[in-house]
Amino acid sequence: MKILVTGGTGFIGSHTCVELLESGYDVVIIDNLSNSKKEVVDYIKQITNKKISFYEQDVCNKDSLRNIFKEHSIDAIIHFAGYKAVGESVENPLMYYRNNIDSTLSLLEVANEFNVKKIVFSSSATVYGNPKTLPIREDFPLSTTNPYGSTKLIIEGILRDLYKSDNDWSIALLRYFNPIGAHKSGLIGENPNGIPNNLMPYIIKVATKELDCLGIFGNDYNTHDGTGVRDYIHVVDLAKGHVKAIEKILKGTGCDAYNLGTGNGYSVLDLVNTFVKVNNVDVKYKFKDRRAGDIDACYADPSYAYKELNWKAEKGIEEMCKDAYNFIKKQ
């Protein structure tokens, strides 16, 4: 079975390629390297000792896609490619709508031409907006507060409409919570350029003394210690969820959404303190004002993914902190 992975050299895509290859799938990657590096292809090969096909191309380009579909007999698609920084999407919404929506439409149109009607899409817990109760179930109301989130919601809608119009499609919408960590080998992981937006890369840059001090956004939230609570999930667990989703969509047809989270909520301070303890490092922090748009707490009810995909997260927060730091030390 051959899987086309868009955005396959990115953080989640690269870990998913490893899990797919280790589960016996063939992998074809298309990535324009706008937020990743070509070396990742070699690291994936090194970890798995398997061959992969890589195309440095833009998913918005339908001719490039057509050539890939002509060259390979694709059985299913995992669509990771897209921009993902919330703040940047507020500053430059057109860039986000153009890239995220356009790449998806091009991909779906070409896939349709080649009669490949099985796709897993990277959605996000951000589509739940500010949930009224916790844990979050898939049937909760959907809303967004920024253009990035809106692109996810729009694409979910496009995929649902597509299925309604043609019941041969088989579609999994995976709503990720907060992926962190890295592969045990230390070869692939997350290392954004510049000042990170997300908590774990920021903690790491303070631990490695690239940045002075972590700003914790708010200590007056309605949580056990006042700092924001999130559902951090090891990226390898998340990657395994994609293999399960592929198994599911290969079996039948339909369009359904699944939460990929652990079901556990940890605060910013929980994560910082665990990181400090397991890696034996200092992480200086100070409290700052709340970040606009942030919510008190967000964690998944992952029971539907367990029931339907036979998947659940297995790795704990200590392993996430160790693996994330191990990757950075090896860079």
Cα 271–267–141 angle (5° rounding)? 130
Alpha carbons 275 and 226: distance in angstroms, whole number: 19
Our finding on whether 33 is near ligand NAD (CB under 6 A) is yes
The only residue of 215, 219, 256, 301 in contact with ligand UDP, by rule CB under 6 A:
215
SS3 per-residue string spanning the chain: CEEEEECCCCHHHHHHHHHHHHCCCEEEEECCCCCCCCHHHHHHHHHHCCCCEEECCCCCCHHHHHHHHHHCCCCEEEECCCCCCHHHHHHCHHHHHHHHHHHHHHHHHHHHHCCCCEEEEEEEHHHECCCCCCCECCCCCCECCCHHHHHHHHHHHHHHHHHHHCCCCEEEEEEECEEECCCCCCCCCCCCCCCCCCHHHHHHHHHCCCCCCEEEECCCCCCCCCCCEECEEEHHHHHHHHHHHHHHHHHCCEEEEEEECCCCCEEHHHHHHHHHHHHCCCCCEEEECCCCCCCCEECECCHHHHHHHCCCCCCCHHHHHHHHHHHHHCC
- Show the site string, 265-304: x = touches ligand UDP by CB under 6 A, - = not: ---x----------------------x--x----------
Our finding on whether 259 is near ligand NAD (CB under 6 A) is no
Site for ligand NAD in 37-66 (CB under 6 A): 58-60
* Region of 145-153, 159-167, 185-193, 197-205 interacting with ligand UDP (CB under 6 A): 197-205
Q: Given 96, 128, 148, 325, which residue is catalytic?
A: 148
Our finding on whether 99 is near ligand NAD (CB under 6 A) is yes
148 belongs to the catalytic site: yes
Complex with ligand NAD: residue 122 or 264, whichever CB lies closer: 122
Our finding on whether 223 is near ligand UDP (CB under 6 A) is no
The only residue of 35, 61, 112, 198 in contact with ligand UDP, by rule CB under 6 A:
198
Identify what 268 binds: ligand NAD, ligand UDP, none; CB under 5 to 8 Å per kind: ligand UDP
The only residue of 25, 80, 163, 275 in contact with ligand NAD, by rule CB under 6 A:
80
Our finding on whether 11 is near ligand NAD (CB under 6 A) is yes
Our finding on whether 150 is near ligand NAD (CB under 6 A) is no
Site for ligand NAD in 170-209 (CB under 6 A): 176, 178-179
Our finding on whether 327 is near ligand NAD (CB under 6 A) is no
**Which residues here bind ligand NAD, judged by CB under 6 A?**
7, 9-13, 30-36, 58-60, 80-82, 84, 99, 103, 122, 124, 176, 178-179
Q: Which residues have a catalytic role annotated?
A: 148
**Which residues here bind ligand UDP, judged by CB under 6 A?**
178, 197-199, 202, 214-217, 228, 230, 268, 291, 294
